[in-house]
Structure 1
Amino acid sequence: MKKIILLCFCLLLTLTGGCSMNTNEKNNTKDNKTEALKPKEMDPKDLPQVPAFQDEKTREYMVSTKEEEPGYYLLESRLKGFRMLFPEDAKYSKYLSSRDENEEIIAFDSYDKTKNKMLNAQIEYYQGTSFINNPETMLEQVRNENGYNGNFEKLEHADKDIYIAHKKNHFQNDKNKYNFSYRYFGYINSPEKKQAGIVFSFMFRCPNNRKSCTLDKDHLGDQVKKHVKLITFLQQTGEIK
């Protein structure tokens, strides 16, 4: 009798353990599937409650929900040409953005209401074109686009050369106290990735004249330099469908 009871008890443990294992396996499978989802495939309620993820068009570019630095997430171009840090409060600007087989322009806006500071940025990525690896040609293009006649500061960083300059612009016929902007612009050359490069522009301004605003030229310059230094060229190319 004791042997029968012991046998039944062992059988019960085996069945219970098997059920528990199956449940755990199901949970693990579910977690793995959740982790594998891209932000654009997830329910917005499960994403960070910031514009970069809550805006439908912007989250198509976001790599994951992992915060790379406080207030910044990782963005990847649709041509898979580069990755960069993207501000959590920024949104994709469809009217200034475009994409074809060898060129992609990503424009975005970021507004800090507390500091009354607006950022308008534009990243132009080129691939498969010989002129993009010619610094003289590209810098002349950047000069013409920004009405700039000065020199560029060259930053040699890891796998790329960065050329950067800045300019203070005043808005015509604007009598507001903050009727100016600082624009930082330049060109990124990748010696390691042939026929690929980036032209960038970051403009800072104070949109609300009734609120105080501080635009520190040196601080903003350091911020842009850090941002472009962290841009990473990717070896894989080809448009994401």
Structure 2
Amino acid sequence: MKRIILICISLLLVLTSGCGMNDNNKNTTNDSKTEAIKPKDMDPKDLPQVPAFQDEKMREYMVSTKEDEPGYYVLESKLKGFRMLFPADGEYSSYLSSRDENEEIIAFDSYDKTKNKMLNAQIEYYQRTSFINSAETMLEQVSKENGYNGSFEKLEDEDKDIYIAHKKNHFQNEKHKYSFSYRYFGYIKSPEKKQAGIVFSFMFRCPNDEKPCTLDQDHLGDQVKKQMRSITFLDHKQEK
């Protein structure tokens, strides 16, 4: 009799354990399916309530709804050439963005009303183009486009060469105290990925030049460098 009772108890334990494992596996599968859904395919109500996801065009570039760092998510180019950190308040600028087989321009804006600060940025990605390999040629071109005659700072980075410079511009025919902008620009070359590189431009300004503006105290260069250092060139587009 005792033996029968022990056998019954053992069977119950096995069945209970089996049910638990099935439930866990089911939950894991559901979680995986949820994670596999791309932000562009999700209901906007289920996305983070920030411009990067609520902007229909911008969320097409977003990799995940999880913050990679506070205030930043991960963007992937549509040519699948690179990934980078992207600010939560970034909004797509359609009139400056474009894409073809070997070139992609991603333009975006962000506005901080409390600081009276506007950012207009452009990331230009090139692949399978020989000119992008020459740092000398590219820096000469970037300097010309920005009316710049100075030198570039070269940032130390393991998987890419980053050249960056900046200048302060004063708007013509404006006498207001805050009628100026800071522009950060440069070039990024991938030593590992042949014939691929990026040209970038970040312009910060005070949209209302009659109100106080914090540009001089905002460590703008650090913000730009953070995003440029985060860029990772993706290997599957590598040219042999």
Report the counterpart of residue 215 of structure 2 in structure 1. 215
Q: Please name the residue that 1:87 is paired with.
A: 87
Whole-angstrom distance in 2 between the partners of 1:121 and 1:167: 15
Following superposition, the deviation at residue 59 of structure 1 comes to 0.6
CA distance in structure 2 between the partners assigned to 1:56 and 1:234 by the alignment: 24
Count of aligned pairs between the two proteins: 238
Flag the 1:189–1:22 CA change in 2: closer, same or farther, 3 A: closer
Aligned to 1:190: 190
Distance in 2 (alpha carbons) for counterparts of 1:154 and 1:164: 7
Write out aligned runs for 1:57-206 (5 A).
Answer: 57-206=57-206
Where structure 1 has 5 or more consecutive residues not aligned to the other structure, the ranges are none
Structure-2 change in CA distance of 1:92 and 1:6 (3 Å): same
Q: 1:25 to 1:190 in 2, by over 3 A?
A: closer
Question: Scaled by the length of structure 1, what TM-score is found?
Answer: 0.88
Percent of aligned positions that are identical: 81
Letter in 2 for 1:166: H
- Secondary structure of the residue aligned to 2:156 is strand
Mark the CA change 1:218 to 1:71 in structure 2 (over 3 Å): closer, same or farther. closer
Distance 1:205 1:189 in 2: 28
Deviation at 1:144, TM superposition (A): 1.4
Q: 1:235 to 1:14 in 2, by over 3 A?
A: closer
Q: With structure 2 as the length reference, what TM-score do the two structures score?
A: 0.88
| Partner Cα separation in structure 1 for residue 165 and residue 65 of structure 2 | 33
Gaps of 5+ in 2: none
Given that 1:166 and 1:184 are in contact with CA atoms closer than 8 Å, whether structure 2 keeps it comes out as: yes
Mean Cα deviation higher: 222-231 or 57-66: 222-231
State the alpha-carbon separation in 2 of the partners of residues 14 and 43 from structure 1. 41
Instruction: Say whether residues 1:55 and 2:47 are aligned partners.
Output: no
SS of the equivalent of 1:48 reads: coil
